[in-house]
Chains A and B, each alone.
Chain A
Amino acid sequence: EVQLVESGGGLVQPGGSLRLSCAASGFTFSSYWMHWVRQDPGKGLVWVSHINIDGSNTDYADSVKGRFTISRDNAKNTLYLQMNSLRAEDTAIYYCASQVAGAGVWGQGTLVTVSS
């Protein structure tokens, strides 16, 4: 079964850091681009970042550029999102996702709350 499982969310103070992880199984992780998407509570879906198969190509939404870093470990089948200088407006559910054989695959999400 194709599966993505996020972890690492939690409560963090403004200005703090958090690292999210996404464990992949059931498909050849190293063959697919990976993405992070977030959703403010009660709001729509917003693309955050992508990484290509070997990590040489990354991109970010303007709202997180310079603060967030996406990376992957193909040996561990794991995707990461390092989030620094967190702001209240970064509060959201963060999903990892990919297109596997043309069909979207999403994790269940991990909640990040930035508050003092």
Chain B
Amino acid sequence: EIVLTQSPGTLSLSPGERATLSCRASQSVSSSYLAWYQQKPGQAPRLLIYGASSRATGIPDRFSGSGSGTDFTLSISRLEPEDFAVYYCQRYGSSPWAFGQGTKVEIK
């Protein structure tokens, strides 16, 4: 089964800075089936990116996704206060779904 490894585990940044989150897969993933989610305490995961680079409805353009094969990246161009949260990558499209362990973006 595929394993997704996210790095870093925690990212300490200030508002206005750029965040770059990595998701590495143990085997090649079709770009059509790689998603990124944001989760805040007490809330369900919120879809940000699907198909590796397509923003979900209502997601600001400061969020962008890229990558292919085994290496994928979520970038947040300028961190807003509401962006401090945990981010997960997900491989879908075939079962079982796989999730990365998460990257926490915290205020420095």
Contacts and interface: CB of A to CB of B under 8 A. Distances in A.
Interface string B52-67: 0010110000000000
Interface string A100-114: 001111111100000
A102 B44 contact: no
Question: Interface majority SS on B: helix, strand, loop or mixed?
Answer: loop
A45 B95 contact: no
Contacts of A61: 96
A59 interface: yes
Interface string A64-100: 0000000000000000000000000000000100010
B23 to A, nearest CB: 13
Contact of A104 (B32, B92, B100, B101): B92
B93 A59 contact: no
Nearest to A60: B96
Interface in B21-54: 32, 35, 37, 44-45, 47, 50-51, 54
Assign chain A's interface to a size class. 20 to 34
Given A99-B92, A103-B56, A109 B102 contact: no
Interface of A: 33, 35, 37, 44-47, 50, 59, 61, 95, 99, 102-109
Interface of B: 32, 35, 37, 44-45, 47, 50-51, 54, 56-57, 88, 90, 92-93, 95-102
22 contacts: A33-B95, A37-B97, A37-B99, A44-B100, A45-B88, A45-B102, A47-B95, A47-B99, A50-B95, A59-B96, A99-B93, A102-B32, A102-B50, A103-B50, A103-B56, A104-B56, A104-B90, A105-B47, A106-B44, A107-B44, A108-B44, A109-B44
